[in-house]
Chain A
Amino acid sequence: MSRPSTGWSGGAEWLRGEGEASDVVMSSRARIARNLAGYPFMTKATSEDRVQVLDLCRRRILSDEFKRASGAESVMWVDLHDVDKLERQVLVERHLISRQHARGKLTTGKGGADQPRGVAIGLPSERVAVMVNEEDQLRIQVIRSGLALSQLLEQIDRIDDALEQGLDYAFHPRFGYLTACPTNIGTGIRFSVMLHLPALKLTGEIERVKRAAEDMSLAVRGFYGEGSDAVGDLYQVSNQTTLGKSEHVLVHELEREIVPRIIDYERHARRTLLEKRRAATDDRTNRALGVLRTARLLGVEESMQLLSHVRLGVLLGLLEGVEQQRVNHLMLLVQQAHLQCSATRELSQQERRIERAKLVRKSLGGT
């Protein structure tokens, strides 16, 4: 098996900072949940069931039809029960598997790291990932930078059809595609948009936006999904309901009605910062860059917060000589497992803080 942590030169295309509204929208993601007819869900699956499902799905995923539909140059398969914790953590940080899939445990506590499960990753872009034997047997994900839900729906639809060519999905006339948790049934699709909202945070309006989004049946979560904090002022907005609305209607609501409104809010708040609090904003963003260029010890959260302010400064034209894409990528590279991977031996917490500071200084032209 290829080591996920090495030889990935390009990758994580969703951090490129391209596409529609990329000043506010970091990335868009679509994910569908599917299960096979005739097999129990993970809660009741025996080891033999899991192995069989894994085998069936892997064969389908490694087919030419899948590769064509995914648009990837090659598809890498990773048996997660065979790789160590660090490599699984790298995949989590790259948003290619969920934290739950890394642990191999269901929310019930059942399972463990040795449970037969895997992930397929479309290379080199890492736009497509398919988890097998997570909470549902198949979780297909496509991700892109910028606001791109319509394109994602088209792509995920093709991938789903390619997989279904050789698999029998569990489907119910009333409840649609069946999933282990009743909150995912129907289309089984969840769209999410990762937004960078530093100005709304600074002007104190973020709570209002969060409440308004929740009132519109949307979930607002942090950088790493359910239960994670909004580090670096990054928020994920996603649909809560999957039954009773078609995929197209959901895309329309999010992409044309709801997300543009949040984008406008953030842009308005950024203008306000420039017009009414220019000196303070100039100071804050320059200080953030100054700290990142000179600090000798850096923690993850502190780095993320400072990078968020630097990104804001770059977008407001207050900081020169720093590229937005570089800042985006640093948000990934400062994460714990990525940092550990670039070292040749295991680092203590203090050593990681030293290495992180060194990496950031070097990348941002510090001293």
Chain B
Amino acid sequence: MLCENCGQHEATIHEVLIKGGTKMEKHLCEVCAQVAASEPSSNLPINELISKYMVSPGVHAGEASEAREAPAPTVCPSCAMTVREFRQSGLLGCPVCYSVFEDQLGPLIERAHEGGACHVGKTPRRALDSGRERGDVERLLGDTRERAERLGALRKQLTDAVEREQYERAAQLRDEMRRVASVLGGDVGGNAGDGEQA
């Protein structure tokens, strides 16, 4: 078999890669395999992610013109963290920063988490159990739209898992969807953390 990259030399390196659940095979000659190995991996450190993916005011001129009436905030009113400081350190200043800089951080966060844009999983149990009012639940878990989005994302992962015959994983996703849905349906009496609690 010839190397699938250069098509000139015999392929001596055979690799099976599983990326995002899809199986890929690579057949390369030694030279091409070495070149491939020296290329940077997909896991970028935070500083590189910031410089590549953080939306900063004025960078995307086309998009900015539409949203010009509301310039992106550059400083957190709660802790005085600035966008510039964050760009240098990769660390935010306080919980409020996430709400203040939400739009700017969005693309960076999605890239850092391989497309993950919305939290799925545990929620603070005591806070949820004690917060019986709808307002409290929404403060913790987001409004109906946000929760519906999360449910949609889970449904997509479930379909993928079933297609790939990963039934054990599918079962876990279904449990996760039940947990999200139980809160979504207005059943707010502290059901979000059911299931695996000892």
Contact = CB atoms under 8 A, between A and B. Distances in A.
A175 B91 contact: no
Given A154-B198, A243-B109, A245-B121, A172 B99 contact: yes
Contacts of A178: 95, 98
A219 B43 CA distance: 8
A187 B114 CA distance: 15
B130 to A, nearest CB: 10
B169 to A, nearest CB: 5
Nearest to B16: A212
A186 interface: yes
Contacts of B15: 208, 211-212
A215 B91 contact: no
A43 B76 CA distance: 13
B116 A180 contact: no
Contact of A207 (B37, B146, B172): B37
Contact of B117 (A157, A244, A247, A249): A244
B123 interface: yes
Given A107-B90, A182-B92, A173 B141 contact: yes
A183 interface: yes
Interface in A88-132: 106-108
B114 A41 contact: no
Nearest to A214: B41
A224 interface: no
B187 to A, nearest CB: 18
Given A43-B81, A174-B118, A217-B114, A108 B142 contact: no
Contact of A169 (B120, B124, B141): B124
Contacts of B46: 181-183
Interface of B: 13, 15-19, 37, 41-43, 46, 49, 78-81, 88-95, 98-99, 102, 105, 108-109, 112-127, 138-143, 146, 153, 157, 168-169, 172-173, 175-176, 196-198
Interface residues of A, number: 61
Contact of B91 (A106, A154, A246, A249): A106
Interface in A137-163: 154, 157-158, 160-161
> Does more than half of chain B's interface fall in helix, strand or loop, or is it mixed?
mixed
Given A244-B118, A256-B168, A173 B92 contact: no
Interface stretch (A21-29, A32-40, A74-82): A32-40
Interface of A: 35, 37-44, 106-108, 135, 154, 157-158, 160-161, 164-165, 168-178, 180-183, 185-187, 189, 207-208, 211-212, 214-217, 219, 240-249, 252-253, 256
A40 B127 CA distance: 20
B140 A241 contact: no
Contact of A249 (B92, B124, B143, B172): B172
B121 A164 contact: no
A173 B91 contact: no
B117 A211 contact: no
A157 B89 CA distance: 30
A165 to B, nearest CB: 6
A5 to B, nearest CB: 32
A263 B197 CA distance: 30
A212 B18 CA distance: 8
A223 B71 CA distance: 46
A248 B43 contact: no
B104 to A, nearest CB: 11
A174 B142 contact: yes
Contact of B92 (A43, A158, A242): A43
A241 B172 contact: no
B90 to A, nearest CB: 6
Contacts of A207: 37
Nearest to A36: B95
B43 A214 contact: yes
A241 B116 contact: yes
Contact of B120 (A135, A154, A244): A244
A43 B91 contact: yes
